[in-house]
Structure 1
Amino acid sequence: MPRFLDLFAGAGGLSEGFLRAGYEAVGHVEMDVAACYTLKTRMAYHWLREHDQLDIYNQYLNREISRNQFYDHIPQGVLDSVLNYEISTETLPAIFEEVDALVGEEPLDLIIGGPPCQAYSLAGRSRSETRMVGDQRNYLYRHYAEFLRRYQPAYFVFENVLGLLSAKDEDQTLHFDNMRALFRECGYSTEFRPLNASDYGVLQNRKRIILIGIRGNYEGFYPDIPAIPNQYLVSEVFGDLPAIPAGGGTTEPVPTAHYDGQYLYESGIKEYDTEPVTFHQARPHTDQDLEIYRIVVDTWNKNGTRVSYIDLPANLRTHQNTTSFLDRFKVVAGNLPHAQTIVAHIARDGHYFIHPDIEQNRSITPREAARIQTFPDNYYFESKKGVPSRTLAFKQIGNAVPVCLAYHVATALLDRFDEQN
């Protein structure tokens, strides 16, 4: 099967989709320490599963062994395939040396990944005084190109936000045009499509640019990635999880209830009935926020309408900004076919992601967010020091590529590899 390298890998949503499709991961490069541990643990999970030793993984999740003791059961080469680096001009030589050893004598078939999107996103530009012009994150694609020059994969997959299409450099040229020109200089033809995760088994409205490059001069090579009709509602991600109040729940494994539906199985989120989940822990909220949540959920459940910030009772409006971000309190509506986009801001507060059950009256948990991102229930999100962190889990989940979207891109591209062979 094709071998890939994942750059700017994050917590591994993109990688997980390619692994599920049958690709082999040669290595991952990621700057965030916590995300690197998440990747190590996930690669350890795949190795243990392949060798019929998942009881060791379950011992770790149940805190019967420490993270170091858990890693002692894993071949060092598996753990060392995750490289903790910020990709920069200064670090490239060291990264190349380690990737060279991981790649070995066999060809590297594919490079995947997308640089951090803040510099390209419309939201990021709107919050920046300079509109992100000159921000060094705009130019991370140049480092991506250096990996293409060195390893010459047959294909590459570059993922980013729709704002990439309109982001401009200081000379008013489009970063996207400059990027594609550089990839041409590296010997690659490129084609792209804007894809919405909601068309590919994800109960979330999340639009992304998926650019695919092929080595050589080609046209019309972009694989057909047919959309999947969605017959499910967002409530599918909540139904079998224990009901908990604000501040309730735990990061430790808890069993799920019996599940009569099909979505969680079809999406690969759930593998077997009553499978335990981790990080089903709700953040606490102030009395004021809880009252706002009750109003927001009650209005939605009764009328199917969203509550604008300026429509809240005066005693609950404490923000001075009453002209923008008026939908800052928003329920994740269980009776809709898709939720709003899960973003990294969920690590700061949950106001935009309120649970639809007014009896629970809280924002969603990391596990619920992970399900909306189609991470499997057995996916564990690590911290820097091995102590579970709800905040770091939220951050990793919000920054990730939905696994099901990645899987369908990977499966479609696999057909191209099969044709070449």
Structure 2
Amino acid sequence: MCKKQYPVIDLFAGPGGLSEGFSSFGLGNKSKSPSVFSVVVSIEKEKTAHATLMLRSYYRGLIVKGLSLTNYYAWLNGESETYKKTVQEDEAWNAAKSHALLHELGVDLEADEELENHILAKLKGFDRSSVLIGGPPCQAYSLVGRARNKGNSSYSAEEDHRHFLYREYLKILYRTKPSIFVMENVKGILSSKVNGERIFPSILKDLVAPHEALGKELGKKYVIYSLVTNRRFRYGDDPASVEGTDFLIRSEHYGIPQKRHRVILLGIEESIDVIPDKLRASTTTINVRDVTSGLPPLRSRLSKGGDSSEKWVKIIKEVSQELIDDLKKSEQLPELVG
């Protein structure tokens, strides 16, 4: 850890994609200088995603300490049944355990408060302001998830707590008071509704003044910027007048070989006089072959019932048909194909 780094808190981290990006910024492959950012806490509730999150945290710890990766790779590749760590490797492992936490926000208020105190204690070791990143679970917002919910007669959006998990993000935003935050989600969040009202305007309004959303008297205010348009949202603006697609990033326009469309909100403390640069669109289209050519053949394996190429093809066809059937029943089909 370097006190001059910007500490990062990653909520609803999954396997750590956002953490990976922030941690690698300014860190060259052979450079011993630390990254601009240091992920001090990352939180995920799903065990397998958390396992990856922790392993990557450990990997970054080895890099920062300048330790050899030979033992690490031998263990990952199955060349060694046990991983006998050196003293320094053991220190990196323990540090990873204190950074990557298995925790479900919004279930146990006492545990959540302990977590918030743990985060605040971590931040005390830094001279610079923190950054909060993360994306509340998307199943309630995603178009595919909503298509499946349409077929569930007992489903109620008003009773689906996942619609309101962004408020757990708000609580930590309020407690940690970062200078900058990044919230990411699927494009379905722009049209998702509760009680007939779109939820995205409420999220915008709450994020620019989290203390007010939580019923507190004092707190920081933020300005929310788009990374692809000139759109910004300030305290006092009418959220209903905002065109949500102004915050939508279409990854294929920015050198990514995938049509992954995500809403990304960049919040900057109101008192900071800065206008962030927008992403620069790519002048060429990059496809999957450009990226993966030369790599050895690889596919996932079936964990149950044996594994073979024929069974793999059969499973893919069955899952694809289930998805097609769900989409045909969905009112969101025009959004998906558009």
Scaled by the length of structure 2, the TM-score of the pair is 0.69
Q: Is the alpha carbon distance of 1:237 and 1:166 closer, same or farther for their aligned partners in structure 2, counting shifts above 3 Å? A: same
Contact 1:157 1:212 in 2 (8 A): yes
**Alpha-carbon distance in structure 2 between the residues aligned to 1:214 and 1:238:** 36
Secondary structure at the aligned position of 1:158 is classed as: strand
Q: Kindly indicate whether the alpha-carbon contact (under 8 Å) linking 2:7 and 2:131 is maintained by their aligned counterparts in 1.
A: yes
SS of the residue aligned with 1:34? helix
Pick one of 199, 203, 221 that aligns with 1:179: 203
Q: 1:99 aligns with which of 116, 119, 123?
A: 119
Aligned partner letter, 1:121: S
Task: Write the letter of the residue equivalent to 2:173.
Answer: L
Aligned to 1:189: 223
CA distance in 1, matches of 2:283, 2:248: 17
Residue 112 of structure 1 is aligned with which of 108, 133, 140?
133
Counterpart of 1:31?
A: 45
> Offset of 1:217 from its aligned partner?
6.0
2:232 matched residue in structure 1 = none
Q: Which runs of 5+ in 2 are unaligned?
A: 27-36, 211-220, 227-246, 330-335
Which residue type is aligned with residue 148 of structure 2?
R
Aligned to 2:75: 60
The Cα shift of 1:113 comes to 0.5
Q: % of aligned pairs identical?
A: 29
Could you say what secondary structure the match of 2:266 adopts? strand
CA deviations on 1:95-153 (whole Å, 9 max, x unpaired) are 11321232224354200000111111121112114473431001011111111111110
Q: Determine the C-alpha separation between the residues in 2 that align with 1:220 and 1:64.
A: 51
Q: CA deviation at 1:323?
A: 9.0
5 Å matches for 1:256-405?
Answer: 284-286=309-311, 289=314, 324=328
- Secondary structure of 2:15's match? coil
Note the residue ranges of structure 1 that are not aligned, 5 or more in a row. 249-281, 294-307, 310-317, 326-339, 342-421
Distance 1:110 1:291 in 2: 40
SS at 1:285 equivalent: helix
Deviations 1:246-295 (A, max 9, x none): 969xxxxxxxxxxxxxxxxxxxxxxxxxxxxxxxxx864339839979xx
Corresponding position: 1:15 with 2:15: no
Q: 1:199 and 1:3, CA in 2 relative to 1: closer, same or farther beyond 3 A?
A: farther
Return the match for 2:181 from 133, 145, 156. Answer: 156
**Within 1, Cα distance between the matches of 2:169 and 2:84?**
35
Aligned 8 A contact 1:189 1:219 in 2: no
Task: Give the distance between the partners of 2:324 and 2:260, measured in 1 at CA.
Answer: 30
Determine the structure 2 residue equivalent to 1:241.
Answer: 295
Distance 1:4 1:322 in 2: 38
Conserved 8 A contact 2:58-2:95: no
Aligned to 1:81: 99
Query: CA 1:71–1:150 in structure 2 vs 1: closer, same or farther (change >3 Å)?
Result: farther
1:244 is displaced (CA, Å) by: 6.7
Q: Secondary structure at the match of 2:328?
A: coil
AA of the residue aligned to 1:120: Y
Aligned to 2:265, the other structure's residue is in SS state strand
Equivalent-residue separation in structure 1 for 2:327 and 2:166 (angstroms): 36
Q: Distance in 2 between matches of 1:163 and 1:237?
A: 28
Instruction: Rate the CA distance shift 1:190–1:65 in 2: closer, same or farther, 3 A.
Output: same
1:206 to 250, 254, 260: 260
Q: For residues 55 and 137 of structure 2, what CA distance do their matches in structure 1 show?
A: 22
Determine if the alignment matches structure 1 residue 41 to structure 2 residue 55.
yes
Of residues 281, 284, 287 in structure 2, which corresponds to 1:230?
A: 284
Q: Distance in 1 between matches of 2:316 and 2:58?
A: 43
Q: State the distance in 1 between where 2:70 and 2:275 align.
A: 43
User: What count of residue pairs does the alignment treat as equivalent?
Assistant: 272
Letter in 1 for 2:161: Q
Cα contact 1:189–1:215 (8 A) shared by 2: yes
The answer for the alignment partner of 1:405 in structure 2 is none
Give yes or no for contact 2:147–2:327 (8 Å, CA) kept in 1: no
Contact 2:12–2:136 (Cα < 8 Å) also in 1: yes
Q: Using the alignment, how far apart are the partners of 2:323 and 2:138 within structure 1?
A: 28
Secondary structure, counterpart of 1:3 in structure 2: strand
User: Which structure ranks higher in relative contact order (CA pairs < 8 Å, sequence separation ≥ 6)?
Assistant: 1
Amino acid at match of 1:100: L
Instruction: Show CA shifts across 1:195-243 (max 9, x none).
Output: 1122233210000000111122689834311122334332234432334
Given that 2:72 and 2:83 are in contact with CA atoms closer than 8 Å, whether structure 1 keeps it comes out as no
Q: In 2, distance between residues paired with 1:31 and 1:55? A: 30
